[in-house]
């Protein structure tokens, strides 16, 4: 009894011409048969090294999430520090001192005709500065802090897919001054946090990036199907709590920020192929490290197979207690997460659930100019991560806090099974 073999090839080749060259064919086979042993002699019988192959990845430097106009709104300090101090060169030198284990990094532009297609970048995705004023026992002090967050991204420029993302530690450096902090001091702090140290810690964000790159796996093959955040809807009940600078930007900057956080969380926690929300500056800079090929890049990204639509329904602050020591409030984030299959005949829902996350935060008395926005922002990021990590089990605090009744819970997990299948189909 024979075994049936069926081999599928990536491309079906046209074999119809073969009989037409039969006359030449016989002679050619003879010549090739003579030629191939020649290979062996030339190579000295050398056999290829299995698992020895490492991809060359183009160095795209430090990039920023969002469009060019986002720089002044979202990263006013970091973007100027990176430019004025030529931190791209410092980053590259740091990589050379501790090169990654599973890839080779090249500062030169790479030729697509040589098969190269991966670029990597240190993507700065948030910069926050808080300056406060506290009066204690009739004396006034000025607490202030700077927070930076970034990620390591490896991007496949051919498939327009993020094939690896790794969130670097979120760095927050706090200080208390006897006078209001100067802009120069804040800029110096940002520079230190990027290059030197973080509040006494011996390494800055660049070194964290180099360490993450050192550990990063070889870039994965792009998936034929992928997730992408297609839309972020900011509801009316969220608007009053947004900082003025975000309202003034027409909300696009904020939408990109939320979409990237969601993309990053899905990529990291599910290990799936994801597409960026937009072909923003970071994507363009990574694409710009390549040449060759007959085609030029399109500035639009391909249709994703699974679309994610995130609705930020609103933020809510509920006072809990207030006394001489200070006040305590609940800060809540309310959302809807939808995943739809992006079919040509129309969208098909895979998952659509309302999710919330609420924490109780205390503000000691004497604090002025405190930006409550960061409580909402932190809770939103927590919701995004927990929606990807704490939904597998109905006993997690996150799931209990949703307050689902039995029917709602059953419906949730029925949809979640479909979502898990979708994740599995996009896994790298």
Partner 1 sequence: MSFIRISALVVFAMWASTGFARDVRIEGYSILAVTQVSDSDKEQQVSEALYQGVLDYYSDTDPNMLHFIETKIPKALMQKNISKLINEYRVDQAFDERGRLVTDVVASFKKSDFEQRLQKLASSREEITLVVVEFLQSTEQRLSAARSTFSLPLSESLSGGNLVVSTQYDELSDRTGGMFNFGLMEKEFVNSGNVAIAPLNAAAKAKAGGAKAYSAIVTHTLTFVGVDNLRQEIHQVKLHSTATIINAHTNERTTLEVANTLGEGESEALATQSGINIASRKLAGKIKSHFLQKL
Which residues in this chain contact partner 1 in the complex, by CB under 8 A?
3-11, 13-15, 17-18, 21, 24-25, 28-29, 31-33, 35-36, 38-40, 42-43, 47-56, 59-61, 86, 88-89, 92, 107-109, 111, 113-116, 218, 221, 285, 288, 291-294, 296
Residue 348 · residue 341 · CB < 8 Å = yes
Minimal distance, residue 210 CB to partner 1, in Å: 16
Comparison of 169 and 217: residue with beta carbon closer to partner 1: 217
Comparison of 219 and 276: residue with beta carbon closer to partner 1: 219
What is the C-alpha to C-alpha distance for residues 310 and 300, in angstroms, rounded to an integer? 20
Tell me the CA distances in angstroms from 414 to 145, 170, 272, 316, 421, one per residue in order: 44, 35, 21, 29, 11
Comparison of 32 and 319: residue with beta carbon closer to partner 1: 32
Minimal distance, residue 7 CB to partner 1, in Å: 6
Comparison of 292 and 364: residue with beta carbon closer to partner 1: 292
What is the C-alpha to C-alpha distance for residues 203 and 326, in angstroms, rounded to an integer? 36
* H or E element, residue 183: helix 183-195
Minimal distance, residue 294 CB to partner 1, in Å: 6
What is the C-alpha to C-alpha distance for residues 8 and 126, in angstroms, rounded to an integer? 46
Comparison of 95 and 308: residue with beta carbon closer to partner 1: 95
Minimal distance, residue 34 CB to partner 1, in Å: 9
Minimal distance, residue 277 CB to partner 1, in Å: 23
Minimal distance, residue 75 CB to partner 1, in Å: 17
Beta strands in 118-205 (DSSP E): 118-131, 133-136, 139-156, 161-167, 171-177
User: Pick from 191, 260, 272: which is nearest to 229 by CA?
Assistant: 260
Minimal distance, residue 147 CB to partner 1, in Å: 26
Comparison of 205 and 246: residue with beta carbon closer to partner 1: 205
Q: Which residues contact 423 (CB under 8 A, 6 or more apart)?
A: 270, 272
Minimal distance, residue 256 CB to partner 1, in Å: 21
Cα 152 → chain centroid: 8
What is the C-alpha to C-alpha distance for residues 29 and 20, in angstroms, rounded to an integer? 15
Pull the structure tokens for residue 186: 């804040």
Residue 234 · residue 137 · CB < 8 Å = no
Minimal distance, residue 242 CB to partner 1, in Å: 32
Local structure of residue 155 (DSSP, 8 states): E
276 φ, ψ (degrees, to nearest 5):
-65, 160
Q: Using N-to-C axis directions, what is the helix angle for 183-195 and 87-97, rounded to 10°?
A: 20
Comparison of 14 and 139: residue with beta carbon closer to partner 1: 14
3-state secondary structure of 152: strand
Minimal distance, residue 397 CB to partner 1, in Å: 33
Comparison of 47 and 178: residue with beta carbon closer to partner 1: 47
Query: Which residue is it, tokens 């993020």?
Result: 162
Minimal distance, residue 346 CB to partner 1, in Å: 27
The greatest distance separating any two alpha carbons of the chain, rounded to the nearest whole angstrom, comes to 102
3-state secondary structure 62-82: EEECCCCCHHHHHCHHHHHHH
User: 254 exposed, middle or buried (CB, 10 Å; 0-12, 13-18, 19+)?
Assistant: buried
Comparison of 14 and 323: residue with beta carbon closer to partner 1: 14
Comparison of 96 and 411: residue with beta carbon closer to partner 1: 96
Comparison of 79 and 147: residue with beta carbon closer to partner 1: 79
């Amino acid at each position: 009894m024979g075994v049936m073999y069926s081999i599928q090839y990536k491309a079906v080749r046209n074999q119809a011409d073969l009989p037409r060259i039969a006359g030449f064919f016989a002679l050619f086979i003879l010549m090739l048969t003579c030629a191939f042993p020649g290979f062996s002699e030339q190579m000295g019988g050398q056999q290829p090294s299995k698992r020895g192959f490492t991809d060359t990845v183009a160095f795209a430097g430090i990039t920023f999430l969002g469009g060019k106009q986002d720089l002044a709104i979202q990263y006013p300090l970091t973007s100027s520090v990176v430019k004025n101090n030529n931190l791209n060169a410092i980053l590259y030198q740091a990589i050379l001192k501790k090169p990654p284990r599973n890839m080779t990094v090249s500062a030169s532009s790479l030729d697509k005709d040589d098969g190269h297609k991966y670029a990597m970048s240190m993507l700065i995705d948030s910069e926050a500065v808080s300056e406060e004023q506290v009066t204690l026992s009739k004396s006034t002090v000025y607490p202030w802090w700077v927070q930076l967050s970034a990620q390591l991204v490896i991007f496949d420029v051919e498939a327009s897919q993020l094939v690896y993302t790794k969130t670097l530690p979120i760095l927050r450096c706090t200080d208390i001054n006897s006078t209001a902090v100067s802009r120069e001091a804040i800029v110096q702090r940002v520079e230190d946090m990027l290059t030197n140290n973080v509040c006494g810690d011996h390494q800055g964000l660049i070194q964290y990036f180099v360490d993450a790159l050192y550990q990063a796996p070889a870039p994965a093959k792009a998936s034929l199907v992928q997730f992408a955040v297609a839309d972020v809807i900011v509801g009316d009940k969220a608007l009053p709590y947004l900082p003025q600078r975000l309202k003034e930007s027409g909300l696009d900057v904020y939408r990109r920020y939320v979409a990237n956080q969601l993309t990053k969380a899905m990529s990291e926690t599910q290990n799936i192929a994801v597409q960026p929300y937009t072909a923003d500056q970071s994507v363009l800079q990574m694409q710009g490290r390549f040449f060759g090929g007959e085609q030029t890049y399109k500035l639009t990204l391909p249709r994703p197979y699974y679309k994610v639509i995130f609705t930020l329904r609103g933020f809510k602050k509920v006072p809990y207690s207030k006394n001489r020591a200070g006040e305590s409030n609940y800060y809540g984030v309310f959302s809807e997460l939808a995943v739809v299959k992006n079919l040509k005949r129309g969208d098909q829902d895979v998952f659509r659930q309302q999710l919330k996350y609420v924490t109780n935060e205390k503000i000691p008395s004497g604090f002025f100019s405190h930006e409550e926005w960061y409580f909402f922002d932190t809770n939103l990021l927590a919701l995004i991560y927990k929606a990807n990590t704490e939904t597998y089990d109905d006993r997690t605090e996150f799931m209990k806090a949703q307050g689902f009744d039995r029917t709602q819970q059953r419906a949730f997990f029925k949809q979640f099974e479909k979502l898990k299948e979708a994740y599995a189909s996009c896994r790298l």
